[in-house]
């Protein structure tokens, strides 16, 4: 599939030897940061026939005038070919050069829509129109058609239609490989491979994501001008791939490379560096790599201290994360310190119920572990109340109740511990069903509470109810 890249790395194919510092990147589609959340792909059938519906001339021209990056002569050429397109009925008077120029114009119109807020749908229409024109002219294999497929795929990608996006990226890849890469098409081709990796990652195909992203990385590093900003995206996604594979060594490697490039491109105290540091620290925390997590957390703390323009919610999220890491390291005084910082900032910037829950839960855990049980209990109770107040939109109520019940158990207030654990167990069974990890956790806690009170009959009944011996 990737036959071109076998020679691309060594820079041997004739078209690629022409690349230089003047290589055009005009065919690049805009990159965006990919959120690692999985969205369900929506149905989109491009193969379904649709008629070529032209829009009023002023629509095309207005969008054309939004383009800031092209010379006036090129814009004038696009305007002329669009006028010819609008007035033509069957395109019989279109030469191959005219067709190529029109497809380039549609590509530019699509790109300007990407750069304008909430206009992904308009971009999609331009690319569909371009492909329908190409179909009427019998154009199947050209560099411009490859770019159009890339643009259509990106528009679908932004709308969460990952399956159809992937199909169009694959078509764009195949066409660009068939016609051969040159100075204008090599970067769009690399981006194409990158997005196929990103979509594979989003769909949970980690092995395929690794393959595509490594190829994109190798190809980008083989070009005369490495795109440092693009490298950040590749490194970040590779770090996430290796965290998913529990390959911490490689995850560290690519996270550090991403961070180095962020420092070069965005500065050491940028919001992007804070985001990466937070994501890496969070991944390491979830994997129980507390020392490594703390190392990234300290860098995150320094970045937040220096960046006075940071988003307040992101700062709160980071402070809570750092507190949780210190908790796991049993440095409870530091955990309390970061919890209190987060609470102060949350109070100053408007009461966000979700983060207030998280902060009180952190403070409850930290204070209780540090021997300040009475204070800790107050925060556990506050977290549970806030969760109920929010309608448990975050799904955290049962976890707050667990902490509260466990805290009362440790204080040997078995009556309160039992009441809370029973209520929470019922909640978990209703919400998650028998045998779920949450239900099993509460069952174990409740049995522990009964055993502490020597309630043998209650122990026998609950074991029987849950099929335990």
The token pair at 350 is 């408007």
Q: How far apart are CA 352 and CA 335, in angstroms?
A: 20
Q: Is residue 421 domain-resident?
A: yes
Is 365 a domain residue? no
Torsion of CA 378, 383, 387, 393, to 10 degrees: 180
Q: Which of 226, 246, 275 is the last residue of a domain?
A: 226
The two tokens of residue 405 are 């019940």
Q: What is the pLDDT along the chain (469 residues), one digit of tens a residue?
A: 333 333 333 222 222 222 222 334 445 555 443 333 333 333 333 333 334 667 777 888 888 888 888 898 999 999 999 999 999 888 999 999 999 999 999 999 999 999 888 899 999 999 999 999 999 999 999 999 999 999 999 999 999 999 999 999 999 999 999 999 998 999 999 999 999 999 999 999 999 999 999 999 999 888 877 788 899 999 999 999 999 998 989 999 999 999 999 999 998 888 899 999 999 999 889 889 999 999 999 999 999 888 888 888 999 999 999 999 999 999 999 999 999 999 999 988 877 888 998 899 899 989 988 889 889 888 988 888 887 776 654 456 667 777 788 888 888 899 988 888 888 788 778 777 777 877 888 888 889 999 999 998 888 888 887 776 5
**Domain range for 52:** 1-226
Structural domain includes residue 409: yes
> For residue 291, is it within any domain?
no
The answer as to whether 359 is a domain residue is no
DSSP 228-242: HHHHHHHHHHHHHHH
Handedness of CA 144, 146, 152, 155 (dihedral sign): negative
Does residue 344 lie within any of the structural domains?
no
Total domain count, the chain: 2
- The tokens for 327 are 């908790």
- From 226, 254, 277, the end of a domain falls on 226
- Can you tell me the distance from the alpha carbon of 422 to that of 295, in angstroms, rounded to the nearest whole number? 40
Of 206, 226, 246, the domain-final residue: 226
Whether 110 and 127 have beta carbons less than 8 Å apart is answered as: yes
Is residue 386 domain-resident? Answer: no
User: Residue 353 domain-assigned?
Assistant: no
CATH number for position 4: 1.25.40.10
């Amino acid at each position: 599939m990737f036959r071109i890249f076998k020679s691309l790395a060594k820079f041997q194919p004739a078209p690629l030897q022409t690349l230089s510092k003047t290589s055009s990147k005009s065919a690049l589609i805009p990159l965006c940061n990919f959120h690692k959340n999985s969205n369900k792909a929506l149905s989109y059938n491009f193969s379904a026939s649709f008629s070529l519906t032209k829009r009023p001339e002023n629509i095309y021209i207005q969008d054309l005038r939004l383009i800031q990056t092209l010379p006036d002569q090129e814009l004038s050429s696009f305007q002329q070919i669009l006028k010819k397109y609008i007035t033509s009925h069957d395109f019989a008077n279109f030469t191959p050069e005219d067709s190529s120029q029109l497809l380039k114009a549609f590509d530019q119109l699509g790109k300007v829509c990407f750069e304008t807020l909430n206009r992904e749908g308009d971009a999609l229409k331009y690319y569909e129109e371009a492909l329908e024109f190409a179909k009427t002219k019998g154009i199947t294999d050209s560099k411009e058609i490859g770019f159009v497929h890339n643009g259509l795929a990106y528009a679908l990608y932004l709308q969460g239609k990952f399956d159809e996006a992937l199909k169009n990226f694959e078509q764009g890849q195949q066409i660009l490989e068939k016609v051969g890469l040159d100075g204008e098409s090599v970067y769009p081709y690399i981006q194409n491979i990158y997005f196929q990796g990103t979509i594979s990652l989003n769909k949970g195909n980690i092995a395929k994501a690794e393959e595509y992203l490594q190829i994109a990385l190798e190809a980008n590093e083989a070009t005369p001008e490495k795109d440092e900003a693009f490298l950040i995206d590749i490194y970040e996604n590779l770090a996430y791939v290796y965290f998913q594979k529990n390959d911490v060594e490689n995850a560290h490697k690519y996270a550090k490379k991403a961070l180095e490039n962020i420092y070069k491109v965005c500065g050491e105290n940028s919001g992007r560096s804070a985001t990466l540091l937070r994501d890496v620290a969070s991944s390491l925390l979830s994997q129980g790599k507390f020392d490594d997590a703390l190392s990234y957390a300290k860098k995150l703390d320094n970045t937040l201290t220096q960046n006075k323009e940071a988003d307040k919610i992101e700062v709160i999220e980071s402070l809570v994360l750092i507190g949780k890491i210190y908790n796991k390291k049993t440095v409870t005084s530091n955990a309390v310190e970061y919890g209190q910082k987060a609470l102060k900032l949350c109070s100053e910037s408007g009461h966000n119920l979700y983060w207030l829950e998280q902060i009180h839960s952190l403070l409850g855990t930290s204070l209780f572990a540090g021997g300040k049980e009475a204070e800790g209990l107050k925060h556990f109770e506050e977290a549970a109340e806030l969760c109920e107040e929010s309608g448990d939109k975050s799904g955290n109520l049962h976890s707050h109740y667990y902490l509260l019940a466990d805290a009362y158990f440790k204080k040997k207030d078995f009556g309160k511990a039992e009441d809370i654990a029973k209520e929470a167990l019922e909640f978990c069974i209703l919400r998650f069903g028998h045998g779920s990890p949450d239900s099993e956790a509460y069952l174990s806690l409740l049995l522990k509470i009964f055993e502490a009170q020597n309630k043998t009959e209650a122990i026998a009944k609950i074991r029987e109810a849950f099929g335990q011996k």
